[in-house]
Every structure is written in C-alpha cells, then in structure tokens.
Amino acid sequence: MRAMVVRAPGEPLVEETRAVPEPGRGEILIEVSACGVCRTDLHVADGDLTQTRYPVVPGHEVIGRVLALGEGVDGWSVGEKVGVPWLGSACGHCPYCAMQRENLCDTPTFTGCSRDGGFATHLTADAAFCLHLPESIDDISGTPLLCAGLIGYRSYRMAGEGRRLGLYGFGAAAHILAQVAAGDGREVYAFTRPGDARSQAFARSLGAVWAGASNEAPPAELDAAILFAPVGALVPEALKRVRKGGRVVCAGIHMSDIPGFPYADLWGEREILSVANLTREDGHEFFARVARAPVSVHTRTYPLASANAALDDLRQGELDGAAVLVP
C-alpha cells in the first residue's frame, strides 16, 4: 500500500510504501476510494493538536470498500461501501460515553490523528465507528460530508432555531451547511476574508442572502453565527453581530487565541459555544437527511502523491468547496 505520512510536526508529507495492514479484533480493512482534505489535517501537519501521535497518516473523510473483516466483526460485509469519520473510537464507559456524549470521551482515538487515516490506499478502522453508506453517495463528492458536513450539521443544531444565520469562513463546511440552512428556510449571511469576491459570489450562488467581509456589518442582526475559520479575533466580531440571546458557535477543533472584548458585547444573554468532535448518531441523522434532501458538494481532486499541494491550496484559501485525494 501507499500512504502520505506526517513524520514530524511542520514537515511536508512524505510518501511511503508499506505492507497492507491486517485488521485486528473489531476492525475492518478498507481500500480507500477517496479521502477529503480537511482544515484539521492542516492542524495535524502543523503540530497544533496535542492528541496527534507522529508519524501519522492524516485523513478522516474517507470513503472506501471493505476488503476484510477482523475477528468479532458483525454487521459488515466484504465489498460494502463504508465511510470513516473523525471519531475513530470511544471507550464506552467513561461518564461522557455513559451520557451518550461519546464526542467528549476521556480516551478517544481520532482518525488521521491518533490512528492512521485515509491519505493512503488502505487503512484499518474500528468497525463500530464506521458508517454504512448507500451506493447513491458518490465516492468523491461524498467525502466532505464525513467531517465538513457532520461538524457543520452538529454546529447548526447547536446554533438554535433562529432565522438569520451567519457563517464565518466559506469553505468546505459552510458551502454544505448554507444549502441545508437555505433549504430549511433560514437566511444565510456569509462572511469571508476581506476582498474575497470569489468566495462571496460562491456563497450567494448557494443561497446566501448576503455575503461580505468578516469585518463588515450585515444588513440585519443575526440570531446565531457559526465560525468555521480558526481565527479567534472573529469571536468578538461575531458577538457584535448577534442579537440579545444570540449564539456564537465555534466549530473548529483548533483556533487562535480569542482577544479581550468588552463585557457589553456579551451581555444580553448572548452565548459562546464550542463544538467538539461528533457522535455516531450525528452521522446516522445527517446522512438520513442528505438522502432526503441532497446537497451539491463542490470538490477539486488531487492524486494521492499531491497531498502537500492540496494542503497548500487549502491553507492559501484557493479552494471553492473541498479538496479530495483520489488514490
């Protein structure tokens, strides 16, 4: 098998040839069809996440086919289409798992971070944390749904039922969520880097009623805002744009420090929330929704060996939608 590996934080990914792994107890062996490139993969490569173990194969938006079953695996068949998301496993017995909040598990593993992921031709995964995918899900355009879609959807539910929703950072997650929100009759307000007319036009094409710079005031107060851009300075900026009782949801796993801001900007029962990881139930619910109301996913494909180029394009904001590696 071939894999693109981060050997140490801050180093470019290196291609390696390895033996195809054997699935352990409770695991399945998967041949990768496609793997999305997520901003979290940048954080893994840059060394921003303390839970990363190096060397590691990044990638947690994986679609492939089951090649072999490990001992004790039930409910999966060889040849079946499978999705592998960010949450690689949870302990099942800590207080958070007992509360049905496995996304906050004390001893989890994360695909492409603390266990090898999908920037490869093959990987093994915990069968209990993989998602059964219908054949109608396209291998390439379906990959961003496994993180950008799932984290976006969890953030969307946490934002509440308000009509006016702001989305800061119009990349892979926001371009999926904008369609979901518009389909629900919400007004979507898209915030991009100042001067990014291309992303603003892209947002309007997907149903946003307004698109502008992140330092601009929208034409109406927001009921909630979701921050996908990992920029802490956007938190106080978004607080200024939400009404009393409104919410600012921070959707990233990593963010630069949040600067100080006047208490008056938070007062009025405004809230700041964070989203941590996802649960298997999020996956089941989201993919059931997508089956009822499909979304259009914009992708740019790269060969596996060009993983560094895909990460660079993501870092530079050169993508409309999502990058996808195709082995």
* pLDDT per position as a tens digit, 126-153: 999 999 999 999 999 999 999 999 999 9
What is the pTM for the complete model shown? 0.92
| Residue in the block written with tokens 């490139």 | 37
Classify the C-alpha dihedral 220-275-273-258 as positive or negative: negative
Q: For 88-93, what is the mean pLDDT? A: 97
d(CA 135, CA 169) in angstroms, rounded, equals 31
Omega within 30 of 0 (cis) for the link into 55: yes
Please report the pLDDT score of residue 19 as a whole number.
97
Confidence of residue 319 (pLDDT cuts 50, 70, 90): confident
Please enumerate in sequence order all residues whose Cβ is within 8 A of that of 264, keeping only pairs 6 or more positions apart, or say none.
Answer: none
Q: For residue 327, what are the β-bridge partners?
A: none
Among 9, 52, 323, 50, residue whose Cα is nearest residue 175: 323
Among 101, 137, 173, residue whose Cα is nearest residue 287: 137
| Residue in the block written with tokens 């106080």 | 236
d(CA 96, CA 279) in angstroms, rounded, equals 11
Please report the pLDDT score of residue 120 as a whole number.
98
**CB-side neighbour CA atoms (13 Å) of 233:** 3
d(CA 19, CA 111) in angstroms, rounded, equals 19
* pLDDT per position as a tens digit, 204-225: 999 999 999 999 999 999 999 9
Amino acid at 96: Y
Q: For 231-257, what is the mean pLDDT? A: 96
Q: For 227-253, what is the mean pLDDT? A: 96
